[in-house]
Structure 1
């Protein structure tokens, strides 16, 4: 679990934790069945131990995770590459009724963006109904 990986008394680990909580966009990297990489921008929620992402059930990342759960999430909000964070982990496809986009922490983080793309939380939950939980194994 990431909680054991990050020692929040250490400056770099505390910085990684803060970025995971505050950054809005990450690049989720999965592996296609033929071995080619697939990268897509995602919204994500960090709870201190795992990362939660929501997807449309038919998207390529979901198909990729079904056959290979090893993923990498990369974030960099600096626009110049001076502070990238990478998280390697194992992804799990949760049952759609387990958790939804309408959870308070997710809405708090993304309410403005959901509205900006013309969605309501309910519409977002209906379309992005596949929850993906990533359990990190390495952070850098």
Structure 2
């Protein structure tokens, strides 16, 4: 799956802002946001519980292809939340940019993709996952805990400059609308 470059624009217009900048020259490129995400040691993931309450936890992410990916146990609260509703938000505070990225998390299932995500975790965090027959395990032992990899396809993102005066919104092509299932 390829993610098209998003449209970058000011988050606020001249009538909306005080003290936020409405100068088009302050719009940040998506490449700056991507670098912030790629280099982040961790981010915060917000999901929605089946009854509608928010759930937020720190996660580790890796960048694979053109999207951030993360790991979680399928039986964890966030894993169960994502199994019924993939809509989620990740946030991170970087040196020069604070980000909020809204999107749709989909479970990575193809063996080649699982192997690629596992290699990215090994490279960035020295965290070794074993992929066998479509199952991801925390390490090489057969009875090691099972994990699931998810890829976040962004739909919209917001970036706030370290100066406290600049804000950018990025809008991505919209993926198909999710349907909520009940377990």
Q: TM-score range by the shorter chain?
A: 0.7 to 0.9
Partner of 1:45 in structure 2?
Answer: 62
Which one has the largest radius of gyration?
A: 2
Structure with a larger share of its residues in strand:
2
TM superposition outliers: structure 1 runs of 4+ over 4 Å: 120-123
Q: Distance in 2 between matches of 1:100 and 1:107?
A: 10
**RMSD of aligned C-alpha atoms?**
2.7
Q: CA shift at 1:121, angstroms? A: 4.6
Residue 101 (structure 2) pairs with residue 84 (structure 1): no
Which secondary structure state, in structure 2, belongs to the residue aligned with residue 84 of structure 1? strand
Task: Write the mapping of 1:1-140 to structure 2, written as runs, cut at 5 A.
Answer: 2-5=3-6, 11-47=28-64, 49-78=66-95, 83-95=97-109, 99-100=114-115, 103-111=118-126, 114=127, 121-122=129-130, 124-125=138-139, 126-127=144-145, 129-140=147-158
Partner of 1:117 in structure 2?
Answer: none
Equivalent residues, number: 128
| 1:71-127 superposed Cα distances (whole Å, 9 cap, x missing partner) | 00101145xxx732111100112338551587332211111xx4xxxxx55563443
Unaligned runs of 5+ in 2: 9-26, 131-136, 159-183
